[in-house]
Amino acid sequence: MRLLIFGPPGSGKGTRARLISRLLKIPVITTGDMLRGEVSRETEVGLRAKAYMERGELVPDELVIELVEERLRREDCSEGFILDGFPRTLRQADALDRILGERGVTLDLVLNIVVDPEVVVERLSLRRWCPRCGAIYNLKYDPPRVDEICDECGAQLIQRSDDREEVVRRRLRVYEEQTRPILERYMERSLVREMRGDIPIEEIPREVEEVLGPYLGNHLD
Ligand code: AMP
């Protein structure tokens, strides 16, 4: 199954994507994480992407498209994948159509997470991230067991520099201007299902199972 997860920053794309990945046994491809990895390894792509990311702007299309195209070529994507954070512009959406078209496959589903922007601003200011294993916490709604320490791997949690309020507001504007218009394309293809981004974290599994119901049949244990 090939699916996309859409929604503004902080809407809970990552949480849902990881859940779906476990249910359907397909990989999640998260362009934000891939780019953060490039930045911390100080690769050529990372050095070019860093300043855009710190400002809360999108990095140039060609950089991201190349990363995604290469990732989708790997064997673990042959049975499907979840794209989280891509495509974010019409050019990226065109590129995805081309990549899938070249393989003779299409998208099955686009999940759109709907959430109030003010909820996102509050949520992201409380978000903490594990730079070692990528786990995500929220100091109020989903705190780690030990203050500021990752439950999974014991590393010190950090706040992403782009989770500061003024950068979050810019990321939300960028989402409205550049990313939301892509949804129309997928609506025309009747691929879009909506999810509520403001439900408590413990209700997310049930919401995901409801929306994915028809696809889960032979994947549930
Ligand atoms: P995210 O973790 O998805 O919020 O992404 C963090 C930052 O990475 C974004 O603000 C962008 O600067 C960059 N980024 C992630 N995905 C993309 C994409 N598909 N196109 C352009 N920039 C991206």
CA-to-CA distance for 69 and 81, rounded, in angstroms? Answer: 13
Count of Cβ atoms closer than 10 Å to residue 78 Cβ: 12
Cα 90 to middle of ligand 1, angstroms? 14
Cα 123 to middle of ligand 1, angstroms? 18
CA angle (123 as vertex; 28, 92 as ends), nearest 5: 40
Domain check: are 74 and 27 in the same one? yes
Cα 190 to middle of ligand 1, angstroms? 26
**129-138 pLDDT tens trace:** 998 998 889 9
Split at pLDDT 50, 70, 90, the class of 147 is: very high
Residue 173 annotated in active site: no
**101-121 pLDDT tens trace:** 999 999 999 999 999 999 999
Domain check: are 22 and 125 in the same one? no
Work out how many domains the chain is built from and give that number.
2
Do residues 112 and 195 touch, judged by C-beta distance below 8 A? yes
Do residues 57 and 174 touch, judged by C-beta distance below 8 A? yes
Domain check: are 122 and 86 in the same one? no
CA-to-CA distance for 2 and 107, rounded, in angstroms? Answer: 5
Domain check: are 60 and 131 in the same one? no
Mean pLDDT, residues 72-97 taken together:
96
- Per the structure, the complete domain to which residue 208 belongs is given by 2-115+166-220
CA-to-CA distance for 49 and 57, rounded, in angstroms? Answer: 10
Residue appearing with tokens 């200011």: 125
Do residues 171 and 161 touch, judged by C-beta distance below 8 A? no
DSSP 156: B
pLDDT of residue 29 exceeding 80: yes
Domain check: are 175 and 144 in the same one? no
Domain check: are 174 and 111 in the same one? yes
Domain check: are 132 and 194 in the same one? no
Domain check: are 63 and 95 in the same one? yes
Q: Which of 91, 97, 58 is nearest to 181 (CA)?
A: 91
**51-65 pLDDT tens trace:** 999 999 999 999 999
Q: Which of 221, 214, 218, 207 is nearest to 5 (CA)?
A: 207
Atom 8, ligand 1: residue with shortest CA distance: 32
Q: Which of 2, 71, 88, 128 is catalytic?
A: 88
Residue 64 CA from chain centroid, whole number: 13
pLDDT at site 75 = 94
> What are the start-end ranges of the H helices in 79-179?
90-103, 117-125, 165-174
Residue 22 annotated in active site: no
pLDDT at site 218 = 54
Q: Which of 36, 71, 127, 128 is catalytic?
A: 127
Ramachandran region, residue 22 (left: φ > 0; alpha: ψ -120 to 50; beta: rest): alpha
Do residues 100 and 2 touch, judged by C-beta distance below 8 A? yes
Domain check: are 43 and 76 in the same one? yes
pLDDT at site 215 = 77
Residue 80's alpha-carbon distances to 23, 47, 99, 134, in angstroms, are 12, 30, 13, 22
